[in-house]
Amino acid sequence: MSNAAVYVRWGRPTTGRETKSLEVFSQALEFYGTLKSKGKITEFRTYFATNGALADFGGFMLIEGTVAQCRDLVDGDDFQKILIKAHHVVDNLELVHMSMGDEIQKTIGRVLDARKQLGIT
């Protein structure tokens, strides 16, 4: 069951590297498909923006799994290689590790504990 996700957002392809950006995008799709088929992630979804500030927000991927699976993904060499390539071919690349499901309550508990320790009510 998923309780975490990795959110990867991008803007427009870097000028002059449009074809390379599609190559890296295809590599990422293949990589996540393989991870899903091996049970190393639960799901991945890809979204393309169809309006709005497309230069800043061209789309995003949401890769779902357990906290451990998402951390293993982000720390893994294969993911890092794709991320480094992506940094060279798209603008505004962003990565966020996110909580969901039962993990949200744990996150809220950590925040409340920290606030209590700091004397913040």
Structure confidence by residue, pLDDT tens digits, 6-59? 999 999 999 999 999 999 999 999 999 999 999 999 999 999 999 988 888 999
User: What Å distances lie between residue 107 and 8, 22, 34, 55, 68, CA to CA?
Assistant: 21, 36, 30, 33, 15
23 contact partners, CB below 8 Å, separation of at least 6: none
The total number of structural domains that make up the chain: 1
Q: Could you tell me how far CA 15 lies from the centroid of its own chain?
A: 23
User: What is the domain-level CATH number for residue 101?
Assistant: 3.30.70.100
pTM over 0.75: yes
Alpha helices in 2-118 (DSSP H): 18-37, 67-75, 77-89, 102-118
Residue 70 near residue 63 (C-beta atoms within 8 A): yes
Domain assignment of residue 17, given as a range: 4-118
Q: pLDDT above 90 covers what percent of the chain?
A: 91
